[in-house]
A and B are shown apart, each in its own frame.
Chain A
């Protein structure tokens, strides 16, 4: 499964870069993320609960960052194991470019699924991944640019936050506890 996309984020490139490396931001932005720990240098460990078509599972996995050229580009590689549900793994090349509106984020994702996810979910994995990416970047937009007027449609999956809380922005909430 391959996917590419572009997002314009209303924040400067350094802010976007910092947010990408922050486990708390990532935890808040990855849909269904229960835990996220580690660091950009050591890599992150994560626990994510997700439902792909008929398959619901808790994925435990690792994410490592490589080819880092601050604040321009980095590569994320990860693998998550979902027990009987199978596994997902892949990588994303992310590029940040300064643009008048803030920062342009381009990503190229290559992902593979295995086990039950492939057997039952291969038809819907592309759509699922697209939805996951959209949700991630909507939240990421909120995190890096809390005052952004329109973050686009939000899937609102599983985190239970209210729109009021969202409007504070993730970074602000994290800092304020």
Chain B
């Protein structure tokens, strides 16, 4: 019998009432009286030298308030990078300057050259047309390997090359891995591309800057997953505004998927311009602008080798990846192909020796940073693809090969050779569950039915593991993070017993306003409706690091639990006083404090009222009021894991792939709201299947962005996706956070691409195309058809 409230219940999302009835308050809904509008004049060449910008005619056009160019920002900091990677030779990465508006050069299509502030957006756009830019187009470098060749055009003249870093992990294992591959009974090699993606949240980015001349306070309303991080980065590193004079508000945000983690130039510009113009300024990205200014995702080119002994045990993994950084370092870009990728190369397996080499490369393209999964999908894809290829080469069952190499339940905590320690897991359990919910035993019959109608049916199965609950601050500090990754919560109890939780986590689709109250309700024994969640405003939430990396419930939820524990401890003291009992004898259950072994009790509301109306109150021992804050820094990452399967049909005539079935068996540890978890998995699967079949961000050889609209960039639609079978009943709770939760936000996007590709390869083999061992994503009909020929 499912619970009807508290942890494990599935109440509907309370935020949906406003989202679904048009009552949400998104950043673009915010209009400040007297605001002007910003239009960014962006480069239409991938690489060019700016010899001059004549804004004279434009400045004289109707409604123009002011035109800004790079020269206006010479005394201002550039966009900071939040992670410094040290390469395999002990050198720190090359870190180029990243100005708010281009200074001297443009380095990708979309790089902002000038910003026009005008009374209306139309006037700003018209004025942009009148700006004369004397631009000398330079050769652009787009291909990563070409960018590293001797004599290549440099994206940044002041760097020694286009190589950001050459990272080796674990460098000490390099020789042993090489030797193990030499000694192996079998080595499977696979070269692949992890295609460049654009996150495409439904809501494009928006920034509204406001400045109060009377108080010298600046406010930025922005589409962010982490307003405190934006305030810290923009205030301290870019504009030099102390945090107490700067407020950042990220109200309702319509999806993030990582791309709204980062601090963007438009945010700093609007904050700066509001003060410079003494007028609020607003910028709303168009969809095409989003394509060329939102940080992109993925874009790895990888060679992976898997070594096996004569009994098919994995003995070593060696990978070499080129990771595209784009033209500048976005906020967390250096961490994605390194610490969020290399540390996951053990997967669910006992492989004893692993070496990961990553060359991060600058090119004349939009910066690349974290996108749903961030490094972990890239790790999972290559590992699960190469295992599938190995099974095919060895003629063994791909599920059996995986099972044989699984880390076993009695081996946890399990220290991998790539520096992380998995706390819990049971990979056979999720594989068993997958076989059940996917009805794998019925596959042969379904394949026969497909063949009867002229289609080739394939089955792809894979596992995944991810490191979530980001992250232990002392560990990530050693790895180059320039920030801590704790989370915060303040729990404020009102006089009549209702609670407000002010969390540093940020909800932009995750449903925190529903799930966080379930935890509080469980702890106190009250109804969820008594709990309100406040987030997204630096003025009324404690310093927190925001939401990404499936960290909200594991880290933010844990902070809330710690703060609520402090509240409960204090209310027990108050109750002990009111009941004239010993604090040690007070029990809180179902919203009532009782003295153990007696019928004496006082309810939650009365205790809260006593705290605020302390007429009968132990003022000499306890402060009045009920408000507590906690910061929680996790002891380890969490390690959600699971097994996914995909069944496809391939049309032999056209190469078109249709997804017929998809099943996901996940172990997320304890689950707060199973309906929301299921929704998170559904969304992740849609994005993972989108990557595998449809999505591709394309540049031509001169650096022109060719896919900047939904006519050219194929987003998954409802009819591209099947009904999913999703299960999360296999639960090995996390051992080191108070809720035993692991996080579920990214799993679907991490685990699904290899399942789709494995299934298509399997389908082609069933159709006799046994020479096809890999096709790069997206598996569009033309690519599949070409592979068949």
- Residues of A that sit less than 8 Å from B by CB: 83-84, 86-87, 112-116, 118-120, 122-123
- Bound together, the chains give a CA A116 to CA B292 distance in angstroms of 10
B770 at the interface (CB under 8 A from A): no
Closest A residue, CB atoms, query B44: A115
A-B contact count (CB 8 A): 49
- B704 in complex: contacting residue of A83, A84, A118, A123, CB < 8 Å: A118
B596 at the interface (CB under 8 A from A): no
Which A residues are in CB contact (< 8 Å) with B109? 114-115, 118-119
- A119 in complex: contacting residue of B125, B702, B708, CB < 8 Å: B708
Q: Which 5 A-B pairs have the closest CB atoms?
A: A115-B44, A119-B708, A118-B704, A83-B129, A122-B706
- Contact status of A114 and B704, CB under 8 A, knowing A86-B44, A119-B291: yes
- Contact status of A122 and B45, CB under 8 A, knowing A83-B129, A84-B128: no
B540 at the interface (CB under 8 A from A): no
- Bound together, the chains give a CA A115 to CA B292 distance in angstroms of 10
- A118 in complex: contacting residue of B128, B129, B705, CB < 8 Å: B705
Closest B residue, CB atoms, query A1: B700
Which A residues are in CB contact (< 8 Å) with B700? 118, 122
- Contact status of A84 and B706, CB under 8 A, knowing A118-B700, A120-B712: no
B152 at the interface (CB under 8 A from A): no
Which secondary structure dominates where chain B touches chain A? loop
B20 at the interface (CB under 8 A from A): no
Asked if A123 and B712 make an inter-chain contact with CB atoms under 8 angstroms apart, the answer reads: yes
Chain B residues numbered 667-718 whose CB sits less than 8 Å from any CB in chain A: 700, 702, 704-709, 711-712
- Bound together, the chains give a CA A87 to CA B44 distance in angstroms of 8
- A114 in complex: contacting residue of B45, B291, B707, B709, CB < 8 Å: B45
Which B residues are in CB contact (< 8 Å) with A113? 704
B288 at the interface (CB under 8 A from A): yes
Chain B residues numbered 259-317 whose CB sits less than 8 Å from any CB in chain A: 288, 291-292
- Bound together, the chains give a CA A68 to CA B709 distance in angstroms of 42
- Contact status of A122 and B712, CB under 8 A, knowing A114-B45, A115-B109: yes
Which A residues are in CB contact (< 8 Å) with B706? 118-119, 122
20 residue pairs bridging A and B, Cβ less than 8 Å apart: A83-B128, A83-B129, A84-B129, A87-B44, A112-B704, A113-B704, A114-B109, A114-B704, A115-B44, A115-B109, A116-B44, A118-B109, A118-B700, A118-B704, A119-B292, A119-B708, A120-B708, A120-B709, A120-B712, A122-B700
Which A residues are in CB contact (< 8 Å) with B704? 112-115, 118-119, 122
In this complex, the interface size class of chain B, counting residues with CB under 8 Å from chain A, is 10 to 19
Which A residues are in CB contact (< 8 Å) with B708? 116, 119-120
Which B residues are in CB contact (< 8 Å) with A86? 44
- B288 in complex: contacting residue of A112, A114, A120, A123, CB < 8 Å: A120
- Bound together, the chains give a CA A114 to CA B44 distance in angstroms of 6
Which A residues are in CB contact (< 8 Å) with B45? 114-115
- Bound together, the chains give a CA A123 to CA B45 distance in angstroms of 19
Which B residues are in CB contact (< 8 Å) with A119? 109, 288, 291-292, 704-709, 712
- Bound together, the chains give a CA A113 to CA B708 distance in angstroms of 14
Which A residues are in CB contact (< 8 Å) with B712? 119-120, 122-123
Which A residues are in CB contact (< 8 Å) with B291? 119
- Contact status of A84 and B711, CB under 8 A, knowing A115-B109, A119-B292: no
- Bound together, the chains give a CA A84 to CA B462 distance in angstroms of 46
Nearest-CB distance from B404 to chain A (Å)?
48
- Bound together, the chains give a CA A84 to CA B292 distance in angstroms of 14
Nearest-CB distance from A126 to chain B (Å)?
13
Chain B residues numbered 564-614 whose CB sits less than 8 Å from any CB in chain A: none
- Bound together, the chains give a CA A123 to CA B704 distance in angstroms of 13
Which B residues are in CB contact (< 8 Å) with A114? 44-45, 109, 702, 704
- Bound together, the chains give a CA A118 to CA B128 distance in angstroms of 19
Chain B residues numbered 537-579 whose CB sits less than 8 Å from any CB in chain A: none
CB 8 Å contact bits of B121-137 with A (1 = contact, 0 = none)? 00001001100000000
- Bound together, the chains give a CA A116 to CA B291 distance in angstroms of 11
Closest B residue, CB atoms, query A85: B44
Which A residues are in CB contact (< 8 Å) with B44? 86-87, 114-116
Asked if A84 and B709 make an inter-chain contact with CB atoms under 8 angstroms apart, the answer reads: no
Which A residues are in CB contact (< 8 Å) with B125? 84
Closest A residue, CB atoms, query B292: A119
Nearest-CB distance from B110 to chain A (Å)?
9
- Bound together, the chains give a CA A36 to CA B704 distance in angstroms of 28
Which A residues are in CB contact (< 8 Å) with B128? 83-84
Nearest-CB distance from B125 to chain A (Å)?
7
CB 8 Å contact bits of B81-120 with A (1 = contact, 0 = none)? 0000000000000000000000000000100000000000
Nearest-CB distance from B290 to chain A (Å)?
11
Closest A residue, CB atoms, query B291: A119
Nearest-CB distance from A162 to chain B (Å)?
34
Most buried by B among A87, A115, A119: A119
CB 8 Å contact bits of B40-56 with A (1 = contact, 0 = none)? 00001100000000000
Which B residues are in CB contact (< 8 Å) with A120? 288, 708-709, 711-712
Closest A residue, CB atoms, query B46: A114
Closest A residue, CB atoms, query B703: A114
Nearest-CB distance from A51 to chain B (Å)?
16
Closest B residue, CB atoms, query A113: B704
Closest B residue, CB atoms, query A123: B712
- B702 in complex: contacting residue of A84, A112, A123, CB < 8 Å: A112
Closest A residue, CB atoms, query B43: A115
- Bound together, the chains give a CA A85 to CA B635 distance in angstroms of 52
Closest B residue, CB atoms, query A57: B129
Nearest-CB distance from A125 to chain B (Å)?
10
CB 8 Å contact bits of B183-217 with A (1 = contact, 0 = none)? 00000000000000000000000000000000000
Most buried by A among B44, B125, B288, B702: B44
List 15 additional A-B contacts (Cβ < 8 Å) besides A83-B128, A114-B704. Answer: A84-B128, A84-B129, A86-B44, A112-B702, A114-B44, A115-B44, A115-B45, A118-B705, A119-B109, A119-B288, A119-B292, A119-B705, A119-B708, A119-B712, A120-B288
